[in-house]
Amino acid sequence: MPELPEVETIANGLHKRVAGDRIESVWLGSKPEPLKSTAAEISSTLQGSRLARVRRVGKHIVFDLASEDLPATRQWIVHLGMTGRLLISTPEDELPKHTHLVARLESGRELRFVDPRRFGRLEVRQNSFTGPGAEPLQISADDFAQLFHRSKAPIKGALLNQKLLHGVGNIYADEALIRAGIRPRRRAHSLTRTELNKLHAALRKVLHAAIKAGGSSISDYVDANGDEGFFQIQHRAYGRGGKPCLTCKTPIKKIVVAGRGTHYCPRCQK
């Protein structure tokens, strides 16, 4: 599932390519799973709207919509799920299997939502979407510490709790924890303020680095231009089970925390 850096990369790429364009017509497929709003609500909200801005909120892509009569107060919200993609195509391009939405743009292009596994979601709203938790790239060190100082959950599980901190997933939780030197099974409330400060800094640093690298292409992730990301070559923990730690050469260990495969260094992380 794309995490914050991948979704940020996709949203930025879409903004550069479609911001200012207008949706002339909307086609929706027959599968109900991707529709968090009704098909009628999605069609009526999108048709005739201008794509004023595309941005990321947590793991969601948010299209701010405007029209001749209304400012950008309506929103089209896309969650990519595990396999969802937003493709900018021409009408002549073959329509991929598992296409669930086609928005025909005034420029003559089409914006298509394709999702083979149908875990992605499409929604429209009249009010501002803020996401379920705090924004990892904006939260202060003090507020970050407050999120976890009473939690009895393992710190890895707490980082994955989208109601606390939205946008962080399995990859970047592992990568932040190894950079902060904290074991993923440590109870969140057991971390000292110094350790929480290190984790806050490590998480922000790894997210910014991953955005700069275009995200991590582990499975089928590509950005809005169809290009793969490159941050996977900078991974220190995730996906490196059995390989030597890049710092101390101890083999990276793989365990399960909060139901997710988790990678850490038994020597560097305490």
Residue at which a domain ends, from 85, 101, 125: 125
C-beta separation of 6 from 51 below 8 A: no
Answer yes or no: do 149 and 211 share one domain: yes
- Identify the pLDDT of residue 80: 95
Task: Give the span between the Cα atoms of 22 and 6, in whole angstroms.
Answer: 25
Residue at which a domain ends, from 125, 158, 189: 125
- Identify the pLDDT of residue 268: 98
- Identify the pLDDT of residue 215: 83
Answer yes or no: do 53 and 102 share one domain: yes
Q: Is the pLDDT of residue 91 over 80?
A: yes
Answer yes or no: do 206 and 259 share one domain: yes
Average pLDDT of every residue of the chain? 93
Q: Is residue 134 included in any domain, yes or no?
A: no
Q: Is the pLDDT of residue 230 over 80?
A: no
Give me the long-range contacts of 217-223 (CB less than 8 A, separation at least 24): 218/171, 220/83, 221/2, 221/6, 222/85, 223/6, 223/9, 223/10, 223/13
C-beta separation of 4 from 58 below 8 A: yes
Amino acid at 187: R
Q: Which of 144-153, 208-217, 257-266 has the lowest mean pLDDT?
A: 208-217
Find residue 256's DSSP bridge partners.
Answer: 261
- Identify the pLDDT of residue 2: 87
Active site amino acids: 2-3, 59, 260
**Rounded mean pLDDT, 10-23:** 95
More confident site: 42 or 70: 42
Range of the domain at 15: 4-125
Q: 13: domain CATH number?
A: 3.20.190.10
Q: Is 115 helix (H, G, I), strand (E, B) or coil?
A: coil
Answer yes or no: do 87 and 169 share one domain: no
Number of domains in the chain: 2
Q: Is residue 269 included in any domain, yes or no?
A: no
Answer yes or no: do 160 and 65 share one domain: no
Answer yes or no: do 114 and 155 share one domain: no
- Identify the pLDDT of residue 249: 98
CA angle (135 as vertex; 265, 214 as ends), nearest 5: 65
Model pTM score = 0.89
Answer yes or no: do 121 and 192 share one domain: no
Answer yes or no: do 16 and 59 share one domain: yes
pLDDT in tens, 173-224: 999 999 999 999 999 999 999 999 999 999 999 999 999 888 886 666 655 6
pLDDT band (50, 70, 90) for residue 67: confident
- Identify the pLDDT of residue 225: 64
Q: Is the pLDDT of residue 70 over 70?
A: no
